[in-house]
Structure 1
């Protein structure tokens, strides 16, 4: 068959690279994961049920098996140099053997071409500094798969820390411009909730408060009067009344 160039079919030709001088982080790796996932799912495959195409190439076995509507995945093997026919085959048997050989060869070459392209994209997006421990002194990354590289990066640099959680809340509370579609605000909060669901739960109440603060600037005053008024002086008449009540109480002692 003619050579298969997987990258010609990818939705993202070049991944969002991490600057070489910066360590990978949870957020920068998340973007790379999303782009690789989308690319892997552009290349058809009937293995594993066919629903997720070649997504298995950038997931661990556990992650892939946890997806709904999947079947056991087995990497396709090369069928050999040429079709092998039985003794005294008929013309129909020869044709069928040739057809199966061609189909298996095509499936293998697509699989290998996709794996190679995904790994190449990943290695171009992340500095060798952070993947070098996986590199063989003679064969480079030839014996390492894309999902093994991703697993290494996630384990070493993808841990969420307190700063990531604070940054997530900042993104949720970032100013929303009323000239933007209201969906932008909803998505801003939902994205923060998705992150929080895995690492630091953001309740529905908290997200609702975020919506109200933007949609009703007076909300914080009405819903949180003590917080809103803690730096506001009491009206003069009310303050005088409170002082008089206190004096009366002291004089009665």
Structure 2
């Protein structure tokens, strides 16, 4: 399988001493790769580094074989992302948000926008202002914006955070379907163990800025542990009964 993301020895330490240290992992074509860890563990710092929003202190990152330091445009031209929150113009419609964003890419037509809105189940609401959208609808619009350039890789930071049950299931099913049917590779961060277990093929676990696991198959985990929760607690050096 082709390597889509290659992170080697990534380090970024902030003035307060927090950050990430010696992060290394690989993501392959067509995977839904989960990046699991508690809030504040360093997930967003890694993701920002991958898409060039953070300067790399040391280490290297390649996307589809391109080094983001020396081949930045080539590395990111096939990447869509939502980091922290899905941003959109609240006073505009879903369609108009995508129409404006389409100006940054070549060859995006009206039919393409309608197709993407249909994919994220927003086509019937295309003319409604985003200010009237629920949180789940805004998250799906964010996914539509990430898909607009027809990327090979989509990076999503906590895509189901704050969603109700229905919104969570819709987002999860969309990601799985896009991966299977269109071959899109997803790199997804979350602190929600259950969602990672249901959505992803492989996972990496980050704890206190360091990786304690850098790519284990979910199916293998299910065979060897009672649950992903047990595997997580084992990986960070704690036994499940310690929490009782």
Please state which band the TM-score falls in when normalised by the shorter chain. Answer: under 0.3
For the pair shown, the structure with the greater C-alpha radius of gyration is 1
Q: Per residue, is there more strand in 1 or in 2? A: 2
Higher helix share: 1
TM-score by length of 1: 0.23
Q: Which has the higher contact order (CA 8 A, sep 6+)?
A: 2
